[in-house]
C-alpha cells in the first residue's frame, strides 16, 4: 500500500515538474547536447540561443530538485512526510555537476569552432582586399 502512495506521489511530482517548468527530459537533454557538439559554425548565430536556453532551464530546474524545492513528499501510514535524504541529494548534485561540466565543455567547443570559422572567413576577406589593393597599385603605375 505504501509503495502505491510513493508511486503516485512521484508520478504527480514528475507531471507537475514537466508541465510547470517545461523542462527537457533526459533524452531531449542528451539530444540538445549532441546538437551543441555538432552544430555547424555557419549556423551558430541562429541556432545557439534556443539550445542554450533549454539546457540552462534544465540546469536551473535540476538544481531546484537537488535542493529539495521540488522534492516529492510521501505521507507514510503514520502521517509523517518523507523527503529526499542526504545520500540522494549528494547523488543529485553530482549528476548536476557532471551535466553542467559537459554543458560547459560542449558550449566551449561550439563557440571555439564558430570563432575559428569566423577568423578563417575574415582572413579570406583580408586576402581578397590585399589582392585588390595590389592590382589597383599595379594599374596606377
pLDDT in tens, 110-121: 999 999 999 999
pLDDT of the residue at 80: 60
Cell numbers describing residue 115:
570563432
What are the backbone dihedrals phi and psi of residue 2, each rounded to the nearest 5 degrees, phi first? -65, -35
Tell whether 68 is covered by a domain. yes
Structural domain including 63 reads: 2-114
Tell whether 51 is covered by a domain. yes
Greater pLDDT, 73 or 92: 92
pLDDT at 5 over 90: no
Torsion angle in degrees (nearest 10) through CA of 83, 89, 93, 98: -110
If pLDDT is split at 50, 70 and 90, which confidence band does 68 have?
A: confident
Q: What total number of domains does the chain contain?
A: 1
Tell whether 6 is covered by a domain. yes
**Is the four-CA dihedral 25, 30, 33, 39 of positive or negative sign?**
negative
Cell numbers describing residue 83:
523527503
Is the pTM value of this prediction over 0.75? no
pLDDT at 101 over 90: yes
- Please say whether the beta carbons of 43 and 117 come within 8 A: no
Tell whether 125 is covered by a domain. no
Amino acid at each position: 500500500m505504501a509503495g502505491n502512495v510513493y508511486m503516485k506521489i512521484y508520478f504527480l511530482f514528475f507531471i507537475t515538474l514537466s508541465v510547470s517548468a517545461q523542462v527537457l527530459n533526459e533524452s531531449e537533454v542528451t539530444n540538445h547536447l549532441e546538437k551543441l557538439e555538432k552544430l555547424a559554425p555557419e549556423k551558430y548565430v541562429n541556432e545557439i540561443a534556443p539550445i542554450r536556453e533549454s539546457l540552462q532551464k534544465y540546469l536551473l530546474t535540476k538544481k531546484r530538485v537537488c535542493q529539495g524545492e521540488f522534492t516529492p513528499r510521501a505521507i507514510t501510514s503514520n502521517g509523517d512526510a518523507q523527503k529526499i535524504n542526504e545520500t540522494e541529494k549528494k547523488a543529485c548534485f553530482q549528476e548536476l555537476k557532471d551535466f553542467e561540466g559537459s554543458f560547459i565543455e560542449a558550449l566551449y567547443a561550439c563557440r571555439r569552432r564558430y570563432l575559428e570559422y569566423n577568423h578563417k572567413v575574415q582572413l579570406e576577406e583580408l586576402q581578397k582586399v590585399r589582392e585588390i589593393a595590389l592590382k589597383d597599385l599595379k594599374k596606377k603605375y
